[in-house]
Structure 1
Amino acid sequence: MNKIKILSAFLCALLMGFTSCANDTEESTNDYQPNVSAARELTVGMADNATNSKSKSTTSRSIVNPTLGNMWQYGDAFLAYNLTDGGEHSMLTAENAGIQTKIRGKVTCKQGDDIAMFFPYMNASTVTEVTGDKSKLSLDLSGQTGDLNETVGDYNTITNYDFSWGKIENVKAVGSKASGNVQMQKRYAVLHLKFECEGQQVKNITSVKLTNIAGKAVMNLQTGELENTTDKAGFTVTPKAAVDELNVIVFAQSNFNPTFSVETNSGKTYGVKITHNPQIINGGYYDLNVLVDDTTPWIDIHGIKWGRYNLQYDPSVTEEGWVSGYSLTKNPWDYFYTEPSGLAGQGFTMSTDFENAKFDHFRWGDVAAAHNYGYSGRDKFYTGTGNIQAQNISNNQYGDLPYYVSKGKWKLPTKADFDDLMAHSGQYLGYYYDGLNTVYGVLFDPTVAESLKGKVLDKNDNVLKASNTNASAVNVGKPNESGNKLKQFTISDMKRGIFFPFAGTYTDYNVGNPVLNKPGSWGSYWTANGTNTDQAQSFTGQYLNNGQFFPCTTVGVSAQNPKKNMYSIRPIYAK
């Protein structure tokens, strides 16, 4: 982040000189003893140099301007709370427009009381009362649109977040009137955000999610301080239309290290975690250019947005926009129950809690019982034929699993999609080592020279064969053999293309010893195409420890895979 600055005009807005006009105070004091609490009219009078425009509305709607300060509007509603005697909240309203204003309302008070003032008054969205404690208010930052100038009718919506606190000390009571002085102080800061990725400004932003930051807090009217800010779930800012920059209101904090997740109208995503812990102070206005990484979970290859990650199920995970338990893996090479060498014939014994264990292999066309790898789920596949892409069948019992669990954001690729992928990229044979596990697989790189697209390649860009012409193997050498042709993939390689890890298959349904077949060296991925009642089309490859490598293909017997088999799923973006 850079370009941090503080604009002093934004630091506070003044409501000074809580005084009554002479004709307001010239009345009998017999019914109002100064040291006895009574409902008194509290009037705020001051010079007003701004246009004195009025509205019929009495809803809070001050104008927040980072360079000019607050412009209070007629009808702005303030909350008053007697700090000395407690009691109920009172509402005072502004009678003038301008940087300074006059406010008026009934407050139960007496001589010498202290009164807290808070803006805006309570509403259903951002300021609510804490049950059982009138001295505290709940504040909520969610629902922002990023536009300080947004209005609905004559209502400036940013007012909902213009959290300002002040304290009137030693109220002076004269009859039915009271007076005092107060200075309103901001209890938030504004971030003016732009995002940059690899030297280019990120444009057409449709949402910005901030996490590792407080999205809710409790205002203590006694002290003016925020409490209960330890929940770092954050909040999402959603502009009304795509924007190139936006303003976000945040709570002040000494070590500000949020994570930004940015999404654009093309579906591309960007993200970064701030790690240098800058200080954000109340009333600060920060002009930030945030450097982000491209975190888009897909890559466009010849017009098809291929996902970078496999589908998985983990009952402990609940991710926004997904059916509970489902999500994409965090890394392209991830799969559950990895086998370190990548060449074992069978994996480790998995949990026998078949319906509730995490799993990332699925039957063809199964939705309702998709992650159940117990014997009871063996025949729960869809018996229909043809293309089931983006289909929900029999009240979501069957159909396109990623389409259903992502709520329409992802879908199964068809055989034609896989064929297109192989034709428009180079298919490298190799492996990725994550520090613990070796995962063999294939990586499709669309950035290779045109002459290498549609070809199977070794680590030195030598052509081994044409992609997808037959299902025969090529000899690339044994894993530890000097001069083998396997490419060791890097994260940079995976950013240029997409990696399909050979995550094994699940076919035996052995109740006493559930294991994956060849985890790390055999990869089978379902397509959306059903061949007949019991078989469907897959995309399959394999590496043998004798040095033979079967590149991924959709030809040969790949259309004859039993639907009951549980294979990996690599979805494509559906938007």
Structure 2
Amino acid sequence: MNLKNLLIMAAMSVMTFGFAACSSDDDDDKDGMLYDDVNSEYNDYVSVCGIKWARGNLQHLGEDWRIADHQWEYFNYVDGNTGSSISQSSSQMDHFNWGVCGANALTTSSSVCAKNVSQDISGKMFTDEACTAETSDFAAALYGDIAYWATQGVWRLPTQAELQKLYNEASYQYGYYTTEDGKNVYGYLFTPPMKSGRVENTSARQITDEELVGGLFLPATGYRIYPGSTISKSGEVGYYWTSQYRSAGDNDYAYYLELQPTRIRWAGNASYYGRSVRPVKN
């Protein structure tokens, strides 16, 4: 065998060994994870707990609907976590009443929301507020899943089970992402859980760009209580809708995930409040 062939064989052996070593490391990492969550900056989603979450909140800007460009982004985002009031309008909105779409999508009225709903509305649209008359016509829809309607079926609201899985199983870290304009945007970073157990940390620290690639960051966007344009407690708290109605006597409630500086909790309250939406996809 000549020298050239020997060199080729040696190079192939090194490449094979290197590939096997990398594969072994990857397999070890996956073996330690509760779910097969693999994330890349080139995906439009981040996988946590086996669920594909959008890399930004649902937003309406001008005449267009979109997923925010960044996970930390919300309109008129604030610096710090002491709680600030900000203003939004129908041309720049990312807090929505529950169960509305179509002509009702941008309402801030306390009387317009889905009511007395008896089914999960994720991925569904309706023409009535009780969500009984389902439609596949995006132009005719007035109630239902706002994320599904706004993205023409690409994204949808997370179900109660999906947000509960995130709440019950994902590791989380409270903290802030520092934007290019120097603001510290607070929220929670959720990361894929390990079989060895989850980490629950409410002591604030800085969240890095690398962590945003592999984790789900939900900013503390505040909420809208009263009709109008005022968003309260931005930077301090965040509320993220599910697709599940909550029956509560005479009130129209729906479930959401609530983020606070010292805790995360599962709750359900007024469907006519404006809250954030972080869509998911199948």
What amino acid sits opposite 2:65 in the alignment?
Y
Q: 2:51 aligns with which of 286, 304, 312?
A: 304
Matched, 1:347 2:81: no
1:521 deviates by: 1.2
**Residue aligned with 2:85, SS:** coil
- 1:388 corresponds in structure 2 to 121
Matched, 1:539 2:257: yes
CA–CA distance in 2 between the matches of 1:412 and 1:436?
A: 31
CA–CA distance in 1 between the matches of 2:194 and 2:255?
A: 30
- 2:281 corresponds in structure 1 to 573
For structure 1, the residue ranges without an aligned partner over 5 or more in a row are 1-198, 200-267, 270-292, 317-324, 459-484, 544-548
Residues 23-79 of structure 1: CA deviation (Å, up to 9, x unaligned): xxxxxxxxxxxxxxxxxxxxxxxxxxxxxxxxxxxxxxxxxxxxxxxxxxxxxxxxx
- 1:332 corresponds in structure 2 to 71
- 2:14 corresponds in structure 1 to none
Residues 270-317 of structure 1: CA deviation (Å, up to 9, x unaligned): xxxxxxxxxxxxxxxxxxxxxxx732121223432122211000015x
What amino acid sits opposite 1:331 in the alignment?
H
Contact 2:55 2:69 in 1 (8 A): no
Pairwise CA RMSD? 2.3
CA–CA distance in 2 between the matches of 1:294 and 1:334?
A: 17
- 1:294 corresponds in structure 2 to 41
Q: Percent identity?
A: 25
Residues 207-232 of structure 1: CA deviation (Å, up to 9, x unaligned): xxxxxxxxxxxxxxxxxxxxxxxxxx
Q: 2:155 aligns with which of 402, 405, 410?
A: 410
Q: 1:314 aligns with which of 51, 57, 61?
A: 61
- 1:378 corresponds in structure 2 to 110
CA–CA distance in 1 between the matches of 2:223 and 2:142?
A: 23
For structure 2, the residue ranges without an aligned partner over 5 or more in a row are 1-21, 23-37, 128-139
Contact 1:439 1:521 in 2 (8 A): no
1:522 deviates by: 0.6
Contact 1:337 1:347 in 2 (8 A): no
**Residue aligned with 1:342, SS:** coil
* Alignment of structure 1 residues 159-178 onto 2, 5 Å: none
1:367 deviates by: 0.6
Size of the aligned set, in residue pairs, is 229
- 1:457 corresponds in structure 2 to 201
What amino acid sits opposite 1:456 in the alignment?
E
CA–CA distance in 1 between the matches of 2:91 and 2:276?
A: 16
**Residue aligned with 1:347, SS:** strand
More helix by share: 2
- 2:239 corresponds in structure 1 to 524
Contact 1:333 1:499 in 2 (8 A): yes
1:338 deviates by: 1.6
- 2:209 corresponds in structure 1 to 491
Q: If the length of structure 2 is used for normalisation, what is the TM-score?
A: 0.74
1:573 deviates by: 0.9
- 1:436 corresponds in structure 2 to 182
Q: 1:358 aligns with which of 92, 109, 121?
A: 92
* Alpha-carbon spacing, 1:388–1:431, altered in 2? closer, same or farther (3 Å): same
* Alignment of structure 1 residues 50-449 onto 2, 5 Å: 294-316=41-63, 325-344=64-83, 346-348=84-86, 350=87, 354=89, 356-368=90-102, 369-373=104-108, 377-383=109-115, 384-394=117-127, 395-434=140-179, 435-446=181-192, 449=194
What amino acid sits opposite 2:112 in the alignment?
K
- 1:562 corresponds in structure 2 to 270
What amino acid sits opposite 1:530 in the alignment?
Y
What amino acid sits opposite 1:342 in the alignment?
N
Contact 1:387 1:528 in 2 (8 A): yes
| Segment of structure 1 superposing worse, 293-302 or 304-313 | 293-302
CA–CA distance in 2 between the matches of 1:517 and 1:341?
A: 14
Q: 1:507 aligns with which of 201, 220, 225?
A: 225
CA–CA distance in 1 between the matches of 2:243 and 2:93?
A: 20
Q: If the length of structure 1 is used for normalisation, what is the TM-score?
A: 0.38
Residues 222-272 of structure 1: CA deviation (Å, up to 9, x unaligned): xxxxxxxxxxxxxxxxxxxxxxxxxxxxxxxxxxxxxxxxxxxxxx99xxx
Residues 415-474 of structure 1: CA deviation (Å, up to 9, x unaligned): 11012123442111112121432221111111x542332x4125xxxxxxxxxxxxxxxx
**Residue aligned with 1:531, SS:** strand
What amino acid sits opposite 2:119 in the alignment?
G
CA–CA distance in 2 between the matches of 1:425 and 1:539?
A: 13
Residues 144-184 of structure 1: CA deviation (Å, up to 9, x unaligned): xxxxxxxxxxxxxxxxxxxxxxxxxxxxxxxxxxxxxxxxx
1:334 deviates by: 0.2
1:385 deviates by: 3.5
Contact 2:112 2:272 in 1 (8 A): yes
**Residue aligned with 1:530, SS:** strand
More strand by share: 1
Contact 2:47 2:215 in 1 (8 A): no
